[in-house]
Amino acid sequence: MITDWGGVLTSPLNDAVGAWLAADGIDADRYRTVMRAWVKQAYDGAGANPIHGLEDGSLAPEEFERLLAAELLTVDGGPVAAAGLISRMFGAFSPVEPMYEALRAARAAGARTALLSNSWGNDYPRDLFAGLFDAVVISCEVGMRKPDERIFRHALDLLGLDAAECVFIDDIEHNIRAAESLGIRGIHHTSADATIAELRELGLLP
């Protein structure tokens, strides 16, 4: 069982971003316009962009913060502070305990488990990972990012398993399609209840 972190093992990204935009008084429409263009290019476009660089480790988090802050404005037209922007953006993330319980149950039943996450310079709750994963793959640490097939193959190699033996859970459809193209069973995560039900159907949970 291979799983994403943000939006799967955490509360939804949109909720965290919404809390940050409100707390910092940022123009939400401007943020969404900028981020929509950056995300589209990161997944569909050619070459590198700030998200691509942040995720694969070729762009320092501090530089990403500077670039994003420069594109944003507060609701009253003022500048947005760059320092600490990423921590503020994800500050409202909270762990989704039913998903952690599902991982523990699957592992107790004999499944091998891995984390496969595109990092945004996050501080991961590694204390929660202890004894939970057989492999932890963080994009910026390995110089690869989803949906690049190389990062999926790297995770498979660490687990010592073939693609057909694995299931991959992610909240981004583009990443699910990439995993499925390699023969990995994909679960598009929309809620803990739905994902857990699908894992039960696959026989990975009691």
Where along the chain do its domains lie?
2-11+94-202, 13-90
Average pLDDT score over residue span 141-153: 96
Give the list of residues 6+ apart from residue 18 with CB closer than 8 angstroms, or none: 28
Average pLDDT score over residue span 70-87: 97
- Give the lowest-confidence range in 2-16, 37-51, 58-72, 118-132: 37-51
CB 50, CB 64: distance < 8 Å: yes
Instruction: Provide the pLDDT confidence category of residue 49 given band limits of 50, 70 and 90.
Output: confident
Q: What is the CA radius of gyration of the chain?
A: 17
The listed CATH number (3.40.50.1000, 3.40.309.10, 3.40.190.10, 3.40.50.300) that belongs to domain 2-11+94-202: 3.40.50.1000
- Give the lowest-confidence range in 17-26, 107-116, 118-127: 118-127
DSSP annotation of 52 reads H
Give the list of residues 6+ apart from residue 127 with CB closer than 8 angstroms, or none: none
| pTM given for the model | 0.94
Average pLDDT score over residue span 194-205: 96
Residue 174 pLDDT > 80: yes
- Give the lowest-confidence range in 7-21, 29-43, 172-186, 188-202: 29-43
Give the list of residues 6+ apart from residue 32 with CB closer than 8 angstroms, or none: none
Average pLDDT of the chain, as a whole number: 95
